[in-house]
Amino acid sequence: MGDWMFYQLLEMAKENTAEARGALMLGLADILVRGIEKRSEEELQMFGEIAVLLYTSAPKPDRIQLSRKIASELRTPINLAMTLASDDISIALPVLEKFPAFNPENLLRLAEELDDEHLQVLARRTDINTKVSDKLVRRGSKVVHRILAGNREIRLSQIALKALVRHAVQDVVLREDLALRSDLTPTVCTMLMPHVRGATQKRLQKLITGVLSKSDLDKLARLRELRKEHGARIDQLDGKPLWDYAQASEISLNELVVLMLQDERLAHVADLLGQQARVAAGTARNAVFKGDVEQIVAIAQSAGLSTDAFSLLAKARCKHLRIPSSKAAEWISAYVAAQTGNNAGKKRRGDGAFAAKRRVRPRRDTTRRLAAI
């Protein structure tokens, strides 16, 4: 620390005002943070004790600034971090959200002592264990329960899950969040089943039988979050503006297609695929509605559509046109065959870097049969 800065801090210490104490506290914090990795444990402890003494009389804006300064610092003295986390939520927020050095005992103490506004932030952390989450379930409000159920980075105990199911009887949002968790046991699924309908009930049944994987649940949860955040805007757009919005919002083509098919926007999905494959306007829409399986498979492949998303497209088409679902199965089989052939071709070409790359001709006999609808 330079002589000038040391002199400034001494002058601040002589002033017995809240503003001077706040400035001194922040000045010490700046010095600490700049070389925190080199500080001894004694220095850190001394800073923590001095900062807590100054903290009680420092103005609120200075306390907010201090919280932001030290929230991400692993070596911040724990007594100071706990003091900040227990203050007004505007001060506590940065520390509650991201302070990395809280141990399970610290987190449990916070869960036992803080008010609901603070608990809502604590429930979003990804490092809370089952003891902490159990306490949050017992003490928290409906909002805390929903946040915990939607926090798929943590594991909830069976006690917590059963308690949340009981709360979910009167809370449809909580029911949906619970049904997307991968740590549900068959017992918890069975408890939840009578209170849900349709797709959610089927999903729980698959969880019970082990058909649905964590990856499947993660995809469903992602789609639910996208709909909640972007659904209204997606409904208002189509064509290039829609794709521009999706890219800006980090929504993939497959996710966008699924969201649009859920809204029964089959024609707009076809146009989107045509746009991505760079074919003439209306080409993809005609292929979908006229049943040109060879053409729509080629367009979907060129656009980069996944097999799962194409399957939903094929099923949505059958529903829209009121034709037998067996036609969807034919389309899906054709797409899987095309994808398999494409992957095999890539592997073969990869072995001979200097071999001529010939265009693969489509198997016309198969596709002609599938195109007849």
Tens-place pLDDT, residues 175-207: 999 999 989 988 899 999 999 998 888 888 888
CB atoms within 10 A of CB 96: 27
Find the distance separating the first CA and the last CA of the chain, reported in whole Å: 82
Q: Which residues, 6 or more positions from 140, have their beta carbon under 8 angstroms from its beta carbon?
A: 116, 119, 120, 123, 148
Listed in sequence order, the DSSP H helices in 36-157 are: 41-55, 60-70, 78-85, 89-98, 104-113, 116-122, 130-139, 142-150
Q: Which residue's structure tokens are 């001077």?
A: 20
- Which pLDDT belongs to residue 5? 46
Q: What is the tens place of the pLDDT at every residue in 141-176? A: 999 999 999 999 999 999 999 999 999 999 999 999
**pLDDT recorded at residue 208:** 80
228 SS3 class: helix
Residue 243 has pLDDT above 90, yes or no: yes
Reported pTM? 0.65
DSSP category for residue 362: P
On the question of pLDDT at 353 being above 80, the answer is no
Over range 102-126, report the average pLDDT: 98
For 5-36, how does the pLDDT look when each residue is reduced to its tens digit (9 = 90+)?
A: 444 555 555 566 888 888 888 888 888 788 78
Q: In angstroms, rounded to a whole number, what is the distance separating the alpha carbons of residues 171 and 34? A: 48
Tokens of residue 66, six digits: 């201090």
Q: Is residue 358 classed exposed, middle or buried when 0-12, 13-18 and 19+ CB atoms within 10 A define those classes? A: exposed
pLDDT bucket at 364, cuts 50 / 70 / 90: very low
